[in-house]
Amino acid sequence: MVRFPQTPWSNQLSYSAELSKFLSTVERRAYKQALFAVRDEHVALDIVQDAMIKLAEKYGDKPAEELPMLFQRILQNTIRDHYRRQKVRQTWVSLFSALRPGHDEDEDSDPLEQLAGGENSPPTPEETIEQNQIINVIESAISQLPPRQREAFLLRYWEGYDTAETALAMGCTEGSVKTHCSRAVQSLARTLKSKGITLS
């Protein structure tokens, strides 16, 4: 049984007895629901608390009868957001694994288009730990990219925009998007290499 810590919303919601009561009664059921979805106790707890904070911030003044449906919608969206982040980050690892020598010579290509198709088998626990370490390095390095490279990279590989959509959002040509993305990926790949991380 997971022991629930003091929740961050408990002190903030003293002004709303109805909301506090609702969250207290729904917390364990919501945790079980999240746990079935993500199969990780700590992640499930984070998801539930995040959903509760969102409910308090956005709908704290709603009538008690509306809270269950609102909370369920927020909880499910928070779970989906978690899976989306996981999928995006795994794509980052695949992206750098797909790079080949000489790729950095062609700045007009889009690194995302170099990814091989097909289904990947689920990572083993050891692979998951390794991927998380790589992702932490990548996320840190992204903040150090030049602004336009960072913008192009995040639009393409975080938001999932295609080249045309990214060009429209950035107010530049598709060729510029590909150049920014290529340079960003190569810079991040060099960062991984400098830290002794080699992807096969």
Q: Where residue 199 falls among pLDDT bands split at 50, 70, 90?
A: low
Instruction: Tell me, yes or no, whether 106 and 172 share the same domain.
Output: yes
pLDDT top residue among 102 and 141: 141
Q: Is the dihedral of CA 91, 141, 49, 126 positive or negative?
A: positive
Query: Residue 90 — pLDDT band, cuts 50, 70, 90?
Result: confident
Q: Which of 101-105, 109-113, 162-166, 179-183 has the lowest mean pLDDT?
A: 101-105
pLDDT for res 200? 55
Same-domain pairing of 105 and 165: yes
Q: Tally Cβ neighbours within 10 Å of residue 15.
A: 9
* pLDDT at 113 (0 to 100): 59
**180 plus 141 within the same structural domain:** yes
Q: What token pair was written down for 129? A: 């730990």
Task: Give the list of residues 6+ apart from residue 93 with CB closer than 8 angstroms, or none.
Answer: 131, 134, 135, 199
Tell whether 104 and 176 lie within a shared domain. Answer: yes
Nearest-5° angle of CA 168, CA 90, CA 165?
Answer: 10
CATH code where residue 31 lies: 1.10.1740
**Residue 178 and residue 110 share a domain:** yes
Highest mean pLDDT among 50-59, 111-120, 122-131, 187-196: 50-59
Q: Domain check: are 75 and 106 in the same one?
A: no
Residue 10: inside a domain: no
Question: What angle, rounded to 10 degrees, do the helices at 17-38 and 67-98 form?
Answer: 40
Total domains in the chain come to 2
Take residue 23 and report the two structure tokens written for it: 């969250």
The 10 Å CB-count burial string (b at 16+, else e) for 23-36 is: beebbeebbebbbe
Question: What integer pLDDT is reported at residue 117 of this predicted model?
Answer: 46
pTM of the full predicted structure? 0.56
Residue 109 pLDDT greater than 50, yes or no: yes
d(CA 50, CA 46): 6
Sign of the C-alpha dihedral computed for residues 125, 126, 129 and 131 taken in this order: negative
At residue 36, does pLDDT exceed 60? yes
Q: Are residues 106 and 189 in the same domain?
A: yes
Mean pLDDT (whole number) for 48-52 = 93
Q: Determine the average pLDDT of the residues in 120-136.
A: 69
pLDDT > 70 in the chain, percent: 75
Nearest to 146 by CA among 176, 174, 175: 176
pLDDT in tens, 140-193: 888 899 999 999 998 888 888 899 999 999 999 999 999 999 899 889 888 888
Domain that holds residue 53: 17-83
Both structure tokens of 153: 């990279």
CA gap 140, 81 in Å, rounded: 21
Q: What is the CATH number of the domain that holds 148?
A: 1.10.10.10
So what's the pLDDT on residue 167? Answer: 93
